[in-house]
Amino acid sequence: MKRSPMVRSLVLSLVLLLSLTACQATGERRPVSLREQEVPEGALGGDIAFVRETGVGTSALYVKNLASGDDVEIPVDGDYVTSPAWSPDGSRIAYSTTDEKDWSHVWIAEADGSNAKKLTSGLNANDYSVFMPDGKSIVFSSTAGEGGRWHLASIAVTGGEIEHLTSGLSDDVYPAVSPDGKSVVYASKRGEDSYHLASLDLTSGDTKMITSGDFEDMFPSFSPDGSTVVFASTRQDEIWQLFTYDVASGEVKRLIGSDSVDRFPIYSPDGRYVLLATDHLAIYSADGESLPGGDLRWQVTEKPALSPAWR
């Protein structure tokens, strides 16, 4: 199945960004992959939803139970699925899949994939869903607004009209909603600039850029207490590495120097760990220090996986 020109264009752009490789090492990167170990028995709990590509233009949605280690495929309507997101209580899951005309649309279903409902429609792309903290609506990126650009939007979990949250000459993707529901941090590309982090005040509607520079910032995710945003950036060594943004001070720090390409970071529900996608899913300590037992990284999946969500 061929994907729509708009979706293919964004995917191609992101693939080119993710394919950047290291040039001159700063000396801060460590051979993390060589010290990666399996997750110790009983160390983690909960379920991780993720996407695994199954062929050219096809992918599948899985949920991994961390206690048993089992992966279960969740049935979806569509050949290409992206961006799973758990509801705040963990009972429902949102995701996007392509329709018969190759446009991606937001769906919501029970945690096991049952009672799936399509929330968006039309000749436009809709992706990168995240629930509001009250579980009543979903924030996502859509090309349904002005100019066919990617802008932030929201829709009730029961369906209805889309509310457009951003506009203008920018492309806005990968929203992350603060735990208090007052703001959204997202990746924004304005004009010929690179993607950097921006913030939207959901009360006033005001937006502002919070990072800038001659590099890319992408994939933001809030800590459970809302004090920190973890994200991936090419700001050192021209390779995707993980950094943190302090919401109060605006200070950016490198989480850990790794010898791998690290992206799609999210915090664990208790805030102790950061889950990420490299060529598989893996875990760092949220403070960038060694994990219990002295390991630098734990391996969560053996096969390639993308876009994790943890409940």
Q: What pLDDT digit, counting tens, does each position of 100-120 carry? A: 889 999 999 999 999 999 999
Name the least confident of 27-31, 165-169, 196-200, 258-262. 27-31
Q: What pLDDT digit, counting tens, does each position of 241-251 carry? A: 999 999 999 99
**Quick check: 227 pLDDT over 70?**
yes
- pLDDT given for residue 11 in this prediction: 45
**Quick check: 95 pLDDT over 90?**
yes
Highest mean pLDDT among 25-29, 151-155, 294-298: 151-155
- pLDDT given for residue 35 in this prediction: 75
* Sheet containing 81-86, strands listed edge to edge, beginning at the edge strand earlier in sequence: 81-86, 92-98, 104-110, 117-118
Question: Could you tell me the CATH number of the domain that includes residue 24?
Answer: 2.120.10.30
Total number of domains in the chain: 1
**pLDDT confidence of 25, banded at 50, 70, 90?**
very low
**Quick check: 17 pLDDT over 80?**
no
- pLDDT given for residue 2 in this prediction: 40
Q: Which whole number is the average pLDDT over 205-228? A: 97
**Quick check: 292 pLDDT over 70?**
yes
Q: Which domain holds residue 108?
A: 5-310
**pLDDT confidence of 187, banded at 50, 70, 90?**
very high
Mean per-residue pLDDT over the chain, rounded? 91
**pLDDT confidence of 121, banded at 50, 70, 90?**
very high
Q: Which whole number is the average pLDDT over 206-234? A: 97
- pLDDT given for residue 33 in this prediction: 72
Q: Which whole number is the average pLDDT over 198-222? A: 97
Cα angle, residue 61 at apex, residues 47 and 144 outer, rounded to 5°: 115
Which residue type sits at 87? S
